[in-house]
């Protein structure tokens, strides 16, 4: 009888140990949940990286647009300055600005008119340099 009780206790103990061991093993639901969490984390990181790249590109484009606006503003101010100067044939002078460098092209009546146009352009705020390519033509 004593032996039978011992075997019953041993069997019962084995069932309890087996049940506890089975509880430690992740089931299909836990494995699937862990995989979903890992996939969501990876997707979140990728989305964050993509958002950072988009932000950088927008910043670069904004800087380029800002530079283009500044150049257009400088060009307008140089044209206004030259147009306001009496004696210059303003319709014969073209103004182009790239990164603060103003290029004057076209024709003027005299070399001194070309020099005057160059000085007027250089006096405008934001002008870094003036490339004066104006050509003096003889007056008719």
Structural domain including 114 reads: 27-136
- pLDDT score for 32: 74
Q: What's the chain's length in residues?
A: 140
- Total domains in the fold of the chain: 1
CB within 8 Å of 99: residues ≥ 6 apart = 67, 71, 128
**Any domain includes 51:** yes
* CATH classification of the domain holding 103: 3.30.300
- pLDDT score for 39: 79
- pLDDT score for 14: 64
- pLDDT score for 118: 92
**Any domain includes 93:** yes
Q: Is-above-0.75 flag for pTM?
A: no
pLDDT by 10-residue block (mean), the chain, 140 residues:
60 60 61 76 75 73 66 87 81 87 90 90 91 80
């Amino acid at each position: 009888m004593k032996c039978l009780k011992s075997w019953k206790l041993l069997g019962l103990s084995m069932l309890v140990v087996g049940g506890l061991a089975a509880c430690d093993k992740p089931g299909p639901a836990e494995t699937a949940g862990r995989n979903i969490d890992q996939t969501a984390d990876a997707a979140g990181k990728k989305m964050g990286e993509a958002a950072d790249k988009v932000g950088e590109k927008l910043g670069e484009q904004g800087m380029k647009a800002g530079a283009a606006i500044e150049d257009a503003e400088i060009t307008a101010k140089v044209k206004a300055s030259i147009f306001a100067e009496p004696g210059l044939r303003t319709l014969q002078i073209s103004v182009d600005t790239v990164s603060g460098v103003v290029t004057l092209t076209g024709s003027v009546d005299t070399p001194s008119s070309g020099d005057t146009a160059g000085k007027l352009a250089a006096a405008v705020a934001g002008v870094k340099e003036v490339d004066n390519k104006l050509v003096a033509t003889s007056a008719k």
